[in-house]
């Protein structure tokens, strides 16, 4: 009776030690052809939508260079590309060569992620994601847990395409990368370039917004709840960073934002520290590096560099603006800038 028991144990151990099955790869290319069996390297799909439909959870979807403007989303998603299955969606040649173009489609978001643990882009393997044709549209909307969005260029164009008139019309894109509230598991938004939106990155929950380059937006980064903005380069936005709730703003380079660098809204109880706050305000405001708009009495914004060794003040330093009844403490302050560099690798 001992031998059969021992054999069963050995068999179970061998099964446990056997290597896990590798994820399959489904390929997409501009010269591909959509169908129920497409996706092999020799017979790629034409659309990202078809490739995701043919994939199984855990697969890699690799998209070749080119412009993808014929996606169909999913029924009821109000989107152009639906990542509704747990996949790792990357490009083979990077964001500069791979464009997801939804301008001709009157939908609310270009890429909608609803599958937990999905990935959209990797360093050097992301996408250029444009706004959809609907006014106020979103580039990438994340409505799932534990998602990674990395290495993408998310660009809000100045027009949407009208299919009836066959011309581009002015529009106001909404949010470049939006993380919807209600998802407690952290999401990572990292190493992206986000430009020309009403809000570049809008993060709720416990999202980590890290090492992005964010510019030419009305608001660069809006962080809510327990989200964090760390190591980002935020420049040339109307307002650089808008922290709310208990969010953390640390180690960013916030410079050249013509209204203010960081604007604190009511009820903020988070952290602002270790940032370079340089060259903000002046065009539309009073040289405000940090603008405490009657929001927080007793705000501490210590250990930031304000553009001069003497701390906040007149040019060349950025000012600390408490209006009309905010009260901010900036001491101790850093006397030299921190090293901050966003790794933009499209």
Q: What is the pLDDT along the chain (346 residues), one digit of tens a residue?
A: 434 444 444 444 444 444 445 679 999 999 999 999 999 999 999 999 999 999 999 999 999 999 999 999 999 999 999 999 999 999 999 999 999 999 889 999 999 999 999 999 999 999 999 999 887 899 999 999 999 999 999 999 865 444 554 444 445 589 999 999 988 889 999 999 999 999 999 999 999 999 999 999 999 999 999 999 999 999 999 999 999 999 999 999 999 999 999 999 778 899 999 999 999 998 777 899 999 976 667 889 999 999 999 999 999 999 999 877 668 999 999 999 999 987 765 5
Residue 260 bridge partners (DSSP) = 239
Residue 4, in any domain of the structure:
no
Q: Are residues 291 and 315 in the same domain?
A: yes
Q: Are residues 197 and 79 in the same domain?
A: yes
Q: Are residues 268 and 138 in the same domain?
A: no
State whether residue 19 is helix, strand or coil: coil
Domains held by the chain: number: 2
What secondary structure letter does DSSP report for 285?
Answer: S
Handedness of CA 206, 207, 211, 217 (dihedral sign): negative
User: What pLDDT, on the 0 to 100 scale, is given for residue 303?
Assistant: 98
Where a domain ends, among 210, 226, 246?
210
φ, ψ at 271 (rounded to 5°): -125, 135
User: What pLDDT, on the 0 to 100 scale, is given for residue 326?
Assistant: 67
Q: Domain span at residue 73?
A: 68-210
Q: Which of 174, 175, 173, 178 is nearest to 149 (CA)?
A: 178
Beta carbons of 69 and 79 less than 8 angstroms apart: no
User: What pLDDT, on the 0 to 100 scale, is given for residue 201?
Assistant: 98
User: What pLDDT, on the 0 to 100 scale, is given for residue 134?
Assistant: 81
Neighbours of 309 (CB within 10 A): 11
Q: Residue 251 contacts by C-beta under 8 Å, 6 or more apart in sequence?
A: 230, 231, 274, 275, 338, 340
Q: Are residues 268 and 182 in the same domain?
A: no
Residue 242, in any domain of the structure:
yes
Rounded to an integer, what is the distance from CA 217 to the centroid of its chain? 13
Q: Are residues 180 and 81 in the same domain?
A: yes
Q: Residue 315 contacts by C-beta under 8 Å, 6 or more apart in sequence?
A: 282, 287
Q: Are residues 180 and 234 in the same domain?
A: no
φ, ψ at 322 (rounded to 5°): -105, 110
Q: Are residues 198 and 113 in the same domain?
A: yes
Beta carbons of 148 and 119 less than 8 angstroms apart: yes
Q: Are residues 136 and 173 in the same domain?
A: yes
Residue 31, in any domain of the structure:
no
Whether the upstream peptide bond of residue 332 has omega within 30° of 0, thus cis, is yes
Where a domain ends, among 181, 210, 239?
210
Beta carbons of 47 and 26 less than 8 angstroms apart: no
Q: Which residue has the tokens 């490739």?
A: 51
Q: Are residues 187 and 313 in the same domain?
A: no
| β pairing state of 219-223 and 199-203 | parallel
Residue 280, in any domain of the structure:
yes
Residue 244, in any domain of the structure:
yes
Q: Are residues 76 and 204 in the same domain?
A: yes
Q: Give one word for 245, left, alpha or beta, with left for phi > 0 and alpha for psi -120 to 50.
A: left
State whether residue 344 is helix, strand or coil: coil
Please, which contacts does 212-220 make with residues 24 or more away whose CB atoms are closer than 8 Å? 212/342, 213/342, 213/344, 217/156, 217/176, 220/257
Residue 322, in any domain of the structure:
yes
What is the distance between the alpha carbons of residues 114 and 117, in angstroms, rounded to a whole number?
Answer: 9
Residue 49, in any domain of the structure:
no
Rounded to an integer, what is the distance from CA 9 to the centroid of its chain? 48
Q: Are residues 299 and 320 in the same domain?
A: yes
- Listed in order, strand segments (DSSP E) in 4-127 are 25-28, 60-63, 66-68, 79-83, 88-91, 98-100, 109-113, 119-120
Beta carbons of 273 and 293 less than 8 angstroms apart: no
Residue 23, in any domain of the structure:
no
User: What pLDDT, on the 0 to 100 scale, is given for residue 20?
Assistant: 46
Q: Are residues 136 and 155 in the same domain?
A: yes
Beta carbons of 224 and 203 less than 8 angstroms apart: yes
User: What pLDDT, on the 0 to 100 scale, is given for residue 288?
Assistant: 94
CA distances from 154 to 3, 120, 124, 142, 175 (A): 63, 12, 14, 14, 10
Handedness of CA 315, 318, 319, 323 (dihedral sign): positive
Q: Which helix (H) or strand (E) holds 6?
A: helix 2-17
Where a domain ends, among 182, 210, 238?
210
């Amino acid at each position: 009776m001992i031998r059969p028991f021992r054999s069963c144990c050995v068999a179970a151990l061998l099964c446990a030690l056997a290597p896990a099955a590798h994820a399959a790869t489904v390929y997409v290319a501009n010269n591909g052809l959509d169908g129920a069996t497409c996706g092999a390297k020799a017979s790629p799909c034409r659309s990202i939508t078809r490739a995701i439909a043919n994939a199984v959870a855990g697969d890699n979807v690799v998209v070749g260079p080119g412009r993808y403007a014929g996606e169909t989303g999913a029924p009821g998603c109000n989107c152009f590309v639906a990542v509704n299955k747990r996949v790792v969606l990357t490009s083979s040649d990077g964001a500069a060569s791979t464009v997801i173009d939804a301008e001709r489609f009157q939908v609310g978001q270009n890429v909608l992620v609803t599958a937990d643990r999905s990935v959209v882009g990797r360093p050097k393997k992301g996408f250029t994601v444009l706004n959809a044709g609907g006014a106020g549209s979103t580039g990438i909307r994340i409505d799932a847990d534990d998602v990674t969005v990395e290495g993408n260029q998310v660009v809000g164009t100045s027009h949407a395409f009208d299919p009836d008139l066959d011309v581009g019309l002015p529009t106001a894109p909404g949010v470049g990368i939006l993380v919807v509230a209600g998802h407690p598991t952290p999401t990572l938004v990292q190493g992206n370039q986000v430009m020309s939106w009403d809000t570049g990155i809008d993060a709720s929950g416990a999202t980590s917004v890290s090492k992005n380059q964010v510019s030419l937006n009305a608001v660069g980064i809006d962080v809510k709840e327990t989200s964090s903005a760390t190591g980002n380069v935020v420049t040339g936005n109307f307002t650089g960073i808008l922290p709310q709730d208990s969010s953390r703003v640390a180690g960013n380079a916030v410079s050249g934002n013509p209204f203010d660098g960081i604007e604190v809204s009511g009820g903020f109880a988070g952290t602002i520290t270790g940032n370079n706050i340089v060259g903000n305000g002046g065009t539309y405001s009073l040289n405000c590096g940090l603008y405490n708009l009657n929001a927080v009495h007793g705000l501490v914004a210590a250990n930031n560099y304000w553009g001069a060794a003497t701390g906040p003040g007149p040019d060349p330093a950025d000012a600390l603006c408490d209006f009309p009844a905010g009260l901010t403490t900036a001491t101790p302050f850093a006397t030299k800038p921190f090293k901050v560099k966003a790794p933009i690798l499209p």
